[in-house]
Amino acid sequence: MTKEIPNISESEWEVMNVLWKKAPQTANDVISSLQEQTDWKPKTVRTLLDRLVHKKVIGVNKDQRIYTFFPLYSQDECQRAEAHSFIKRIYGGALKSMLIQFVQEDSLSETDIRELRSILNEKPKKK
**Residue 1 scores a pLDDT above 60:** no
- 59: enclosing H helix or E strand: strand 58-61
**What mean pLDDT is reported for the chain?**
89
Q: Is residue 19 exposed (0-12), middle (13-18) or buried (19+ Cβ within 10 Å)?
A: buried
- 25: enclosing H helix or E strand: strand 25-26
This prediction's pTM: 0.79
Strands 58-61 and 68-71: antiparallel
pLDDT, tens digit (0-9, with 9 covering 90-100), for 96-127: 888 888 778 777 788 988 898 898 888 877 65
For the ranges 24-28, 68-72, 111-115, which has the lowest average pLDDT? 111-115
Q: Are 46 and 90 in contact (CB under 8 A)?
A: no
Q: Are 98 and 91 in contact (CB under 8 A)?
A: yes
| Most confident residue range from 30-34, 84-88, 92-96 | 30-34
The pLDDT score that the predictor gives to residue 57 is: 96
Q: Are 15 and 30 in contact (CB under 8 A)?
A: yes
DSSP count for the chain of H helices, then E strands: 6, 3
The pLDDT score that the predictor gives to residue 126 is: 64
